[in-house]
Amino acid sequence: MIFHFGSNLKMNQGPEEARSFVRKIRAWLEAMPDRGASVQLWAALSYTNLAAADGERGGSGLWIGAQNVHWEDAGAFTGEISPVQLNACGATFALVGHAERRALFDETDERVAAKLRACARHGLRAILCVGESRDAYGAGTGGAFVDRQLELAFAGYEAPHLLIVLYEPVWSIGDGGRAADPGYVDGALARIRSFLTRRFGDAGTTIPILYGGSVDAENAADYTALMHCNGLGVGRAAWRAEDFLNVLQSCLRGPRQVAAASQPTPAGP
Ligand code: PGA
């Protein structure tokens, strides 16, 4: 499966910075014409930067997307953006259900499901973010927590060919987050794969499943090497194009010696 690597830029950059970010990634892709066959790069930008980034990416194959999307196509929803509008700005995908949106902006499982269906209706790829809370992790019930998120997210969703799943345990994200142990992550990704295969049949075997949460140039290759890992989502360690490419190249170079797993596996109830 193609390795998917990208960054969530969160509430950073203006159009000029986004243009420059995309230009540098595009130059990297163009310098390695065969890369497109094995690596799919993506960047989740602020809405205000999508058109600028789309104008800059040319035929490089870089996906640009939004960090959120509304579930209706149009109407009186002040401050919201629909999948129709995202398509019109050149977006390739939308992040749906990021942990920060779930925690800070009332992103319920029902809304996540409605957003996924809206993306599917308009042929927009969705990067669905899931991950257990700190409490569930501490209680050893992370696996069941994520299963439930997936179950609810896929209500009425039948577009597995447009889906990517990004597993980001809440306790591993952002400042103060702690990168999850690779052994733990592999167990969680394997469990997500079984869920997807049960839910979508054969199509579930080809949905890319990525890890995210405090990924950086030091640890990225440890996750890339995991049997069940199809790619990475990086936040603050890849907000500058130079850093983005540095983390990417560290994945392509291969893993360091991985210490024995010290965190519990997510196979709990
Ligand atoms: P982080 O963010 O890499 O800064 O932890 C990841 C994310 O929120 O997608």
Predicted pLDDT at 224: 96
> What is the percent of the chain with per-residue pLDDT over 90, rounded to a whole number?
90
Whole-model pTM: value is 0.94
Strand pairing of 3-8 and 125-130? unpaired
pLDDT value at residue 37 = 73
> At residue 30, does pLDDT exceed 80?
yes
Q: Kindly tell me if the per-residue pLDDT of 3 is higher than 90.
A: yes
pLDDT of residue 262: 44
Please determine, for residue 266, whether its predicted confidence score (pLDDT) is greater than 80: no
State pLDDT tens for residues 64-78: 999 999 999 999 999
So what's the pLDDT on residue 260?
40
pLDDT over threshold 90, residue 171: yes
Q: For 64, list phi and psi in degrees, rounded to 5.
A: -115, 145
Q: What one-letter code names the amino acid at 20?
A: S
Phi, psi of 77, deg, nearest 5: -130, 70
What residues are annotated to the active site?
Answer: 98, 168
Query: How many Å lie between the centroid of ligand 1 and the Cα of residue 29?
Result: 23
Least confident of 38-52, 139-153, 253-267: 253-267
Confidence of residue 36 (pLDDT cuts 50, 70, 90): low
Q: Which two structure tokens, joined as six digits, stand for 84? A: 């129709």
CA 201–ligand 1 middle distance (angstroms): 30
Is the beta carbon of 6 within 6 A of some atom in ligand 1?
no
Given this model, what pLDDT does residue 256 score?
A: 62
pLDDT tens digits, 81-117: 999 999 999 999 999 999 999 999 999 999 999 999 9
pLDDT at 269: 41
Beta 93-96 vs 63-66: how paired, if at all?
parallel
Return the pLDDT at 261: 41
pLDDT higher than threshold 60 for residue 259: no
Determine whether the shortest distance from the Cβ of 213 to ligand 1 is under 6 A: yes
d(CA 137, CA 122): 35
Only one residue has tokens 């299963």, namely 147
Q: pLDDT: is 88 or 267 the higher one?
A: 88
Cα 75 to Cα 65, 79, 83, 85, 106: the distances in Å are 22, 11, 12, 12, 20
* 253 against 48, higher pLDDT: 48
Any ligand 1 atom below 6 A from CB of 219: no
Smallest CA separation from ligand 1 atom 6, residue: 235
Burial class (CB in 10 A: 0-12, 13-18, 19+), 53: buried
The whole-chain average pLDDT of the chain stands at 94
